[in-house]
Amino acid sequence: MTVDDLVAASLEDEHKRELLARAIQESARATEEHQIIGLARAFATGAISEDRAIVDESMVALETIGQLRGPHWRLVSILIRPSPSGESDHMNFRSGKPYALPWLRRDIIEEDPGLAPVIDSLIAKLLGLGMIEDRAHNVSDGRPRWALTGFGHACADYMRILGHNQAAS
């Protein structure tokens, strides 16, 4: 499918027209090349889908990706990996797939000391956008343990963050 095909398909549907408009708007405001590429992936995913839920997720992903910059993506690239506080990944008994253990604030800072001055702001922003959650359920010490949500993983996929710091700019 060509870019012209994507645009043509988007113009035929009201929701996809809005998706196209949002993609153009966010791309015009983007300041980083990898951000523009992530926006393009989110747009393309929604534009080719016949599933309204995927179109809606792509729309929200466009808005989310447009709001985040290098330090946010550095934090995401940490949270996509298993925390060093745990022995190893655990298995999800329902899906049979491994999942990464959540991260303590101190472990995030140890992993990327440059985030220390802004870590609380970064966490608040990602939390507010629904990209991360505190998974400190039934933990006696009361310290938050941060992990990506399903939506956070989807945005990381659009940005092609695979568990290393390639989005750090």
DSSP string covering 75-109, please? Answer: HHHHHTSPPTTSSSPEEPTTT--EEPPPB-HHHHH
Query: Following CA atoms 94, 163, 45, 16 in sequence, which dihedral angle do they give, to the nearest 10 degrees?
Result: 100
Domain containing 112 equals 70-159
- Which pLDDT score is estimated for 167? 43
| Residue 166 domain flag | no
Q: How far is CA 124 from the centre of its chain?
A: 14
Three-state secondary structure call for residue 54: helix
| Residue 147 domain flag | yes
23 and 79 inside one domain: no
118 and 61 inside one domain: no
| Residue 168 domain flag | no
55 and 93 inside one domain: no
| Residue 57 domain flag | yes
What DSSP state is assigned to residue 13?
Answer: S
Question: Helices 119-128 and 70-79, interaxial angle, to 10°?
Answer: 80
- Which pLDDT score is estimated for 138? 67
The residue to which tokens 């009361």 are assigned: 142
- Which pLDDT score is estimated for 85? 75
Last residue of a domain, one of 29, 51, 67: 67
Per-residue pLDDT of the chain (169 residues; tens, 9 = 90+): 787 887 888 888 899 999 999 999 999 999 999 999 999 999 999 999 999 999 999 999 999 999 999 999 999 999 999 888 764 445 555 555 555 679 999 999 999 999 999 999 999 999 999 999 998 876 777 789 999 999 999 999 999 986 544 444 4
State the CATH number of the domain containing residue 103: 1.10.10.10
Residues contacting residue 35 through CB under 8 Å, at least 6 positions apart: 65, 66, 68, 69, 159
- Which pLDDT score is estimated for 86? 61
| Residue 115 domain flag | yes
What DSSP state is assigned to residue 117?
Answer: G
Q: Which of 72, 152, 75, 147 is nearest to 109 (CA)?
A: 75
- Which pLDDT score is estimated for 91? 54
76 and 148 inside one domain: yes
7: enclosing H helix or E strand: helix 3-11
